[in-house]
Amino acid sequence: MSPNAFRLLLVAATAAIAACSAQGSENESYEAVPPADGHGAGHEASPVTAHAAPKDDGHGQPAGDHGDNGQKSAKNAHHDPAHWTYAGESGPDYWAAMSHDFSACSTGTMQSPIDLSTANAAGDVMIQADYRPAFIETVNNGHTVQVNTTGGLSLSNGRNRYHLAQFHFHTPSEHTINGQHYPMEMHFVHKDENGELLVLGVLFEEGASNPNLNAVLESLSRDTYQFDPSKLLPANLDVYRYQGSLTTPPCSEGVNWHVVRQPVTASIAQIRAFQQLMGENARPIQAVNNRLVVRPL
């Protein structure tokens, strides 16, 4: 998309929002529970042992959007020149064939996203987000609207502290509940001092306009912008938790996924504005296989 066309699209998206507005310590022992109905895209969750998942070797670089059994760990992932998309012969069904570096997209056994109703254990996962106003840089990188953050913002899961590198958006949501997509999902990508990734997912539902999303859209036309990412979080941070992967090539595994149960709202106009900027950019649901998926109590 040319710069002039992108500016016109951004102006149109912002105008649509304005018009619409004018109208109106992680627990390590879990209680095993049977999987809920609905296992995502045509697969069944395999039985699992109700214990904490083992620590991963490492995780992928947070730049971009989001190995060797031939799969590389996300820690050592790098961008490949192969041009992947979300449709056609460069879409998700063909990612693995586009580059050897993308082999995990088809051979991986701990891939993301998943249907969260496949949860097979229950437990409290205590997370605390230390987000505050910071300077951000917002870009449309061709795959998503991505907000790069400056240092100092972090999240703790009771064991490790992870530093926020960026957050970005998917329409519709990548994770589902009982097979149902939400209209949008946001991923906060964090990395600890050892290179491990933790991604905090937040689901959006249609409802009241969210002024903080307007701020994100407005920041696209500025070099830098001061913004408080905590404004995008719901009040309750109870989360689903599982071990997964990047949802984009190279689909590297070993990512600590925490998806917040409570959604936040966005207006129809705001959701459409992101759809216009990004298109549909959600990877299909992946098999759970023999994984522990913990739902909040």
pLDDT at 151: 80
What residues make up the domain containing 22?
Answer: 3-295
Walk along the chain (297 residues) and give the pLDDT tens digit of each residue. Answer: 544 444 444 545 554 444 444 444 343 445 555 444 433 333 333 333 233 333 333 333 334 566 333 334 444 343 445 799 999 999 999 999 999 999 999 999 999 999 999 999 999 878 999 999 999 999 999 999 999 998 899 999 988 999 999 999 999 999 999 999 999 999 999 999 999 999 999 999 999 999 999 999 999 999 989 999 999 999 999 999 999 999 999 999 999 999 999 999 999 999 999 999 999 999 999 999 999 999 999
pLDDT score of 125: 79
For residue 292, give the nearest of 12, 18, 56 by alpha carbon: 56
Count of CB atoms situated within 10 Å of the CB of 26: 18
Strand partners of residue 181: 176
The pLDDT, as a whole number, for residue 66 is: 61
3-class DSSP assignment, residue 33: coil
Distance CA 114, CA 40 (A): 7
Residue 289 Rama label (left phi>0; alpha psi -120 to 50; beta): left
H or E element in which residue 264 lies: strand 264-266
Predicted pLDDT at 126:
82
What is the structure's pLDDT at 8? 45
Question: How many domains does the chain contain in total?
Answer: 1
From 39, 143, 175, 190, active-site residue: 143
Regarding beta strands 184-191 and 239-245, do their DSSP bridges make them parallel or antiparallel, or are they unpaired? Answer: unpaired
27 close to 292: Cβ distance less than 8 angstroms:
no
Per-residue pLDDT, 65: 66
DSSP string computed for 224-261: -EEE-GGGGS-S---EEEEEEE-SSTT--EEEEEEEES
- Are 60 and 79 spatial neighbours (Cβ–Cβ below 8 Å)? no
Find out whether 45 and 32 touch, Cβ atoms under 8 Å: no
78 is catalytic: no
Contact present, 249 and 68 (Cβ < 8 Å): no
End-to-end Cα distance, the chain: 46
pLDDT at position 13 is 52
Instruction: Name residues whose C-beta falls within 8 Å of residue 111's C-beta, 6 or more positions apart in sequence.
Output: 104, 105, 244, 245, 251, 253, 286, 287
Distances (CA, A) of 103 to 90, 222, 283: 14, 37, 15
User: Reduced to 3 states, what is the DSSP secondary structure of residue 71?
Assistant: coil
Residues 251 and 68 sit within 8 Å (Cβ to Cβ): no
Amino acid identity at 192: D
Given this model, what pLDDT does residue 42 score? 36
pLDDT of residue 62: 39
Contacts (Cβ under 8 Å, ≥6 apart) of 258? 125, 127, 157, 198, 199, 200, 201, 239, 240, 241
Q: Output the domain CATH number for residue 188.
A: 3.10.200.10
Distance of alpha carbon 9 from alpha carbon 211, whole angstroms: 19
Of 206, 232, 201, 208, which is closest to residue 219 (Cα–Cα)? 232
Find out whether 202 and 233 touch, Cβ atoms under 8 Å: yes
Torsion of CA 29, 32, 38, 42, to 10 degrees: 80
Q: Token pair for residue 276?
A: 């216009």
Amino acid in position 212? N
Whether the CB-CB separation of 296 and 261 falls below 8 Å is answered with yes
Residue 21's pLDDT is: 45
